[in-house]
Amino acid sequence: MRHGEPTEVLAVQNVPEPDVGPGEVRIAVTAASLNFGDIARCRGTVASVMGEPPFTIGMDVCGVVDRAGDGADEWLGRRVVAMTKQSLGGIAECAIAPAASVFEAPPELDDAEAAAFTLPFHVGYLALCRRARLSAGERLLVVGGASAVGTAAIQLGVALGADVLAVAGGAEKVRVCEELGATGIDHTAADLFDAVLAHTDGHGADVAFDVVGGQRTEEIWTCLAREGRYLPVGFNDDPQSGLTGRPLRKASMANISVLGVILAYGELPKEFRRFGLNFFPAEVGREVHRALCDFVASGAIRPVIGRRITMDEVADALHAHQNRRTTGRTVVAIGHE
C-alpha cells in the first residue's frame, strides 16, 4: 500500500467493517461524493486531513444509520447525510460518522443529490451567511463557480438577493454558472479585474468566495470593493493547500478583510487551539442545516451533479477532477448485496 496518483493506487477491495464508537454512527451508504481533497489524500500531499495507507477515501455520504454508539441512538434507522470521521471511509458499503456531523437527509433530494448536498451547501452557508454576512444587493464574486462548492455559493447568493458574478474556465462552465443565475466570467478569455470592475461600475465585489486559491489570490483581492470581504474557502490550485502564506500587506493596502472558514462541527480539547483549530459547535451545524433545508423545500437551491458513477470508476473520475474536466459534484452509487 502506498501513496500515488488515484489511477495508480486506488482499488475496490473487501475490508473489515468499521466499528462504531461512543458518539458515532455507522451508515449503510447508498451514495458518496468525490472531493478534490481525495486526490491529495491519495498522493500523500497536504490536505485538511491526511492518512497513511491503507485507507478508504470519501468525505460526505447519504445512507441509513444501521448502528449507533452511546449517545447517538436518536439516529438509528434514519436516512441521513453525514461528513465522515476524519474525512475518510465514505466510498464504502458502510462508513462511520461523528454524531455532530450527521443530519436528516432532505426528503426532496434523492440519495445522490443528498450526498452532493451537505459539504458544498454547509460550507457555502457558513462562509456567506455567518462569516461574510452577505446582504441583498451586494456584489458577490464566486471563483471556481462551476465546481460543487461554487455552484452552491452561486445559488445561495442568488437566494439571498445578491448580484452574483461567477468565474469559471471555458464556455461550458460559464454556461453552468449563468443557468444558476450568475453573470459568468470566463477567466480564459477575459481579464478578471477589468470584468469585475466593469460589471460593478468601478465599485468592485463586496464579497469574494474563492474555492481555488493559489497564485490568483492577490488578483482577486484587487477585484474587491473598499472594505470588501475575502473568503478563502478552498485551495484547489495550491499544492500546499493554502499553507504557504500570502503577503498580508496587500490586504492592508486594499482595506479589505480576510475571513477564514472551515466546515467542521464539534467540541475539541482546549489544547487543540495551539494548532489553530477552533471548530463551530454542533448546534451551529443544526442551525445551518435547518436553514438549508428550508431553502431546499422552497426550491431555491439544489445540488448540481455532473456525473453519477460506480465505485470502479472513482480513480478515473478523480483524474478528471484533477484536470478540471468536471462541473458540479461527482457522486458514487454504492451497491448493497
The predicted structure's pLDDT at residue 242:
77
pLDDT(48) > 70 = no
What is the rounded end-to-end Cα distance, in angstroms, of the chain?
A: 27
Amino acid (1-letter code) at residue 50: M
Q: Report DSSP letters for 166-220, one per residue.
A: EEESSHHHHHHHHHTTPEEEETTTS-HHHHHHHHTTT--EEEEEES--GGGHHHH
pLDDT in tens, 150-160: 999 999 999 99
pLDDT in tens, 226-242: 999 999 999 877 777 77
The predicted structure's pLDDT at residue 232:
96
Residue 214 burial (CB count, 10 A): 15
The predicted structure's pLDDT at residue 246:
84
The predicted structure's pLDDT at residue 123:
98
* Residue 125: strand, helix, or coil: helix
pLDDT in tens, 92-148: 999 999 999 999 999 999 999 999 999 999 999 999 999 999 999 999 999 999 999
Distance CA(335)–CA(317), nearest Å, equals 18
Mean pLDDT of the residues in the chain: 94
pLDDT(336) > 70 = no
- Angle between the 148-159 and 118-125 helix axes, to the nearest 10 degrees? 50
Distance CA(25)–CA(97), nearest Å, equals 6
Pick the CATH number of 6-117+304-333 from 3.30.1130.10, 3.40.190.10, 2.60.40.2300, 3.90.180.10: 3.90.180.10
The predicted structure's pLDDT at residue 324:
87
What is the average per-residue pLDDT within 174-186? 98
The predicted structure's pLDDT at residue 37:
87
pLDDT(203) > 80 = yes
Amino acid (1-letter code) at residue 188: T
- At CA 301, angle to CA 91 and CA 112, rounded to 5? 25
Exposure pattern of 170-182 as b/e (b: 16+ CB <10 Å)? eeebbebbbebeb
CA-closest candidate to residue 186, choices 46, 213, 196, 266: 196
User: Where are the alpha helices (H) located in the chain, listed in sequence order?
Assistant: 6-9, 36-43, 111-115, 118-125, 148-159, 171-179, 192-199, 217-222, 248-254, 282-298, 314-322
* Residue 119: strand, helix, or coil: helix
What stretch(es) of the chain map to CATH 3.90.180.10? 6-117+304-333
pLDDT in tens, 6-15: 999 999 999 9
In CATH, what number does 119-258 get? Answer: 3.40.50.720
The predicted structure's pLDDT at residue 157:
98
What stretch(es) of the chain map to CATH 3.40.50.720? 119-258
